[in-house]
Amino acid sequence: MAATTKPIMLYTAGTPNGRKVSVFLEELKAAYGLEYEFKKLDFSKNEQKEEWFLKINPNGRIPAIVDRARGDVPVFETGPILLYLQRLYDAEGRFGFGQKGAAEGEEASEVLQWMFWANAGLGPMMGQAGHFKNAAPEKIEYAINRYVEETKRLLGVLEIRLKDHEYLVGGKYTIADLNAYTWASAHKFIGVESLDAFPGVKRWLDAIAARDAVKAGYAVP
């Protein structure tokens, strides 16, 4: 019997951005039985810059997916991937909101707002903080302080929202949460050891970390 090709092919690595997609695919697998497979790209060999991968993602970054079930559609960038998967594979709207009424339309807009906020702010600032603190060839204190302090400010924005909300939008766990989680949970990597100043964020992180699909998604790459 011929091997069955799984609908989604994920190209990834063990980074906060890569884990956003592996976590969501695990959530969809648990909820609906969606099957996928993955390939971990080897950065040491610059695989993400090879011609075959640039046809999938011209930007040469992970993650990216190919939707084999819909004619090998390629999708790159974490935000578009999560939105694509949620729209097409979350049939019951467990991880997002539709446009059926005014309330759902407002909540769908809020999901986008928090996703764009994280992808334009939290992720890039934490990424730069991590680079200058852990990977730069020389320590530049101004750069480290600038990005670490901006990260703390952004964690404060999350705290404002989460101090009286269980999740970011609509009282339920959505792609807005997992999109921000993978970066926020890496706070120790940039030197923010304690979340005492952000108790709402800590509660939210702990709740998401306890999900089976999150644990499975982190084990993927």
- Quick one: average pLDDT of 90-109? 83
68 and 4 in contact (C-beta within 8 Å)? Answer: no
Q: What would the pLDDT profile of 48-59 be if each residue is shown by its tens digit?
A: 999 999 999 999
Q: What would the pLDDT profile of 111-126 be if each residue is shown by its tens digit?
A: 999 999 999 999 999 9
- Quick one: average pLDDT of 4-28? 96
Task: For residue 42, report the phi and psi dihedrals to the nearest 5 degrees.
Answer: -90, 105
Question: Which pLDDT score is estimated for 98?
Answer: 78
Question: Which pLDDT score is estimated for 1?
Answer: 33
DSSP 172: B
3-state secondary structure (DSSP) of residue 186 = coil
Q: What would the pLDDT profile of 60-74 be if each residue is shown by its tens digit?
A: 999 999 999 999 999
pLDDT band, very low/low/confident/very high, at 215 (cuts 50, 70, 90): very high
pLDDT band, very low/low/confident/very high, at 180 (cuts 50, 70, 90): very high
Task: For residue 35, report the phi and psi dihedrals to the nearest 5 degrees.
Answer: -100, 145
Task: Choose among 46, 45, 44, 34: nearest CA to 10.
Answer: 34
